[in-house]
Amino acid sequence: MLTTILFDLDGTLAPFVQEDFIRCYFRALTARLAPMGYDGEKLTAALWKGVAAMIANDGQATNRQAFWACFTQEMGIQALALEGILNDFYAQEFDTARQALRETVDRAPLLHALRKKGYSLVLATNPIFPAVAVETRLGWVGLTAEDFDYVTTYENSRRSKPNPGYYRDILEHIGRRPEECLMIGNNPADDMAAAQLGLEVYLAVDCMENPEGLPIDGFPHGSFQALEERLAQLPPL
């Protein structure tokens, strides 16, 4: 019996494509750090290497530890001083990246209705950002971290998508079996990886990210609106 629904954030709850978001994000970040003397190209390269370290992380450290170990190797140990500055950026200037949204949406009614029916909700966003950055992006669609029973961030996670272990860690944390869960996302590689563990899945195609060109016919898929209609029919628990 379905008891728990996992939602991806970027491109799923938040309707934007990654390319638009990255452009807005890095433009705002460079504007914040360039006056401090940081070279934009070097900074961007170091950030991407840090992201790669988190994607490759297989439980030996938190994603936060994996990121900063790699980032400081690229930028120098003095770059540790940037963590507080970046967290401040994510709480303030990062909000301008909401320009990447393709439409203004409010997801609160959907999630509040599901919680009222007794379903547990997880924000299964790839945990490559700190909690403050996740909270800011949730605000773009009318949500907060308190709307979920569990939110994955780089502080509390030791794996990332598409590693099936990321989903295994979530199930262990929330105490659920795969057959109780539905994972909703927009990326066949990252989000549909949950099916490998036996979770039910749904691929939202409105802002689908599929750079590998993977076939999607093997997954239930459709628009987010169609998904909302389906979720509205779920019975109370």
Q: What is the pLDDT of residues 222-231, one digit of tens each?
A: 999 999 999 9
Q: Are residues 113 and 171 in the same domain?
A: yes
Residues 89, 149, single domain; the answer is no
For residue 39, the model assigns a pLDDT of 84
Q: Predicted confidence band at 61 (pLDDT cuts at 50, 70, 90)?
A: very high
Position 120 pLDDT exceeds 90: yes
Contacts (Cβ under 8 Å, ≥6 apart) of 148: 111, 121, 122, 123
Q: How far is CA 52 from the centre of its chain?
A: 15
Q: Which of 58, 76, 99 is the last residue of a domain?
A: 99
User: Is 161 contained in some domain?
Assistant: yes
Confidence at 37, pLDDT banded by 50, 70, 90: confident
Q: Are residues 8 and 49 in the same domain?
A: no
The yes-or-no verdict on residue 77 having pLDDT over 90 is no
31 within a domain of the structure (yes/no): yes
Asked if residue 69 belongs to a domain, the reply is yes
Q: Say whether both 78 and 135 belong to one domain.
A: no
Task: Determine, yes or no, domain membership for 56.
Answer: yes
Q: CATH number for the domain including 122?
A: 3.40.50.1000
pLDDT of residue 79: 84
Residue 216 resides in a domain: yes
Domain's final residue, options 74, 99, 124: 99
Local confidence band at 38 (pLDDT 50, 70, 90 cut-offs): confident
Q: Are residues 184 and 220 in the same domain?
A: yes
73 and 112 assigned to the same domain: no
Domains in the chain, number: 2
Are residues 34 and 130 located together in one domain of the fold?
no
Q: Mind listing the pLDDT tens digit for each residue in 142-159?
A: 999 999 999 999 999 999
- Out of 99, 118, 145, pick the residue that ends a domain: 99
Give residue 198's identity as a one-letter amino acid code.
G
Average confidence (pLDDT) over 65-88: 92
Of 39-48, 62-71, 112-121, 219-228, the one with minimum mean pLDDT is 39-48
Residue 210 and residue 124 share a domain = yes
pLDDT-derived band of residue 20, with 50, 70 and 90 as boundaries? very high
pLDDT mean over 74-85: 89
Residues 9 and 28 placed together within one structural domain of the fold = no
Range of lowest pLDDT (68-77, 127-136, 194-203): 68-77
Domain that holds residue 129: 4-16+103-232
Fill in the amino acid letter for 126.
N
Note whether 80 and 109 are same-domain residues: no
Is residue 86 one of the residues assigned to a domain? yes
237 within domain boundaries: no
Same domain, 134 and 218: yes
